[in-house]
């Protein structure tokens, strides 16, 4: 089973740690694509700052991101689940899990990435800035570059088991599961219900998903189908309804 998280725009920059080693990351089959994107990103950020900022969608107060990206080859690294920040990651709080929960994280949790494709929680990465959909010189859209190789990696990481896909739309587009992988992929939608009326949650969506991931990890929920995941979350106190491969969590 694999829990696949979205990345965060905000990241905690490691102050110490070994420099990035692409060959040490999980899914070594992605190394050539990772290297191509990394080299292209560094070249862009070493060049004209105005053009680079426009290409990456950065504002005037974010130009320090260009300096950070330009130094990625020698940048300090830390666990991916310590580098990514934001609402979902704060609610998940992997560092606060029990030892058994942490062990579960290392085996079953990964994060989608426009730069690395996908990384396990324990993979050591630097802080970087690159969003899905950015177009890089000579490569084109990052989304298009990842589409084929990422499918093979997700299939390997899920190891024939359930893929719990919590990615946001832009990162789903890196690779939409097909075939057998699609059949064993579960998604989660968060709904609020007030006076009998339901609507899709926006404000609490990420926090709720982070809390669900925390419950899955702390309770070592290892299931093989969306139906089994639905039952497991209900046992943990969540109000869940199953619609084929999508779980609707009602808050």
3-class DSSP string for the chain: CEEEECCCCCECCCCCCCECCHHHCCCHHHHHHHHHHHHHHHHHHHCCHHHHHHHHCCCHHHCHHHHHHHCHHHCECEEHHHHECCHHHHHHCHHHCCHHHHHHHHHHEEEEECCCEEEECCCEECCCCCCCCCEECCCEEHHHHHHHHHHHHHHHHHCCCCEEECCCHHHHCCCCCCHHHHHCEEEEEEEEEECCEEEECCCCHHHHHHHHHHHHHHCCCCCCCHHHHHHHHHHCCCCEEEECCEEEEEC
pLDDT band with cut points at 50, 70 and 90 for residue 203: confident
172: domain range? 2-250
Mean pLDDT computed over every residue of the chain: 95
pLDDT band with cut points at 50, 70 and 90 for residue 194: confident
Mean pLDDT of 137-161: 94
165-176, pLDDT tens digit by residue? 999 889 999 999
pTM of the shown model: 0.95
Task: Looking at mean pLDDT, say which of 8-17, 95-104, 200-209 comes out highest.
Answer: 95-104
pLDDT number for residue 61: 85
pLDDT band with cut points at 50, 70 and 90 for residue 199: confident
Number of separate domains in the chain: 1
Mean pLDDT of 75-102: 97
Residue 214 has pLDDT above 90, yes or no: yes
pLDDT number for residue 216: 98
pLDDT number for residue 140: 95
pLDDT band with cut points at 50, 70 and 90 for residue 160: very high
């Amino acid at each position: 089973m694999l829990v696949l998280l979205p990345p965060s725009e905000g990241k905690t920059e490691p102050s110490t740690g070994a420099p990035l080693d692409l060959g040490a990351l999980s899914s070594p089959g992605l190394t050539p694509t990772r290297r191509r994107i990394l080299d292209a990103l560094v070249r862009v950020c070493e060049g004209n700052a105005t053009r680079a900022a426009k290409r990456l969608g950065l504002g005037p107060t974010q130009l320090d991101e260009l300096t950070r990206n330009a130094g990625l080859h020698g940048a300090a690294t830390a666990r991916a689940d310590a580098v990514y920040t934001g609402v979902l990651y704060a609610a998940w709080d992997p560092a606060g899990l029990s030892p058994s929960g942490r062990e579960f994280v290392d085996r079953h949790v990964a994060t989608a990435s426009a730069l690395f494709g996908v990384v396990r929680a324990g993979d050591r990465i630097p802080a970087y800035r690159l969003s899905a959909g950015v177009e890089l010189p000579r490569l084109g859209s990052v989304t298009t570059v990842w589409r084929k190789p990422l499918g093979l990696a997700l299939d390997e990481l899920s190891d024939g088991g359930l893929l719990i896909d919590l990615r946001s739309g832009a990162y789903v587009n890196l690779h939409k599961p097909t075939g057998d992988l699609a059949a064993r992929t579960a998604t989660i939608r968060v709904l609020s219900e007030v006076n009998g009326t339901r609507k899709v949650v926006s404000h609490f969506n990420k926090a709720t998903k982070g809390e669900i991931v925390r419950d899955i990890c702390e309770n070592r929920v290892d299931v093989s189908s969306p139906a089994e995941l639905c039952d497991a979350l209900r046992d943990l106190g969540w109000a869940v309804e199953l619609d084929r491969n999508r779980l609707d969590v009602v808050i």
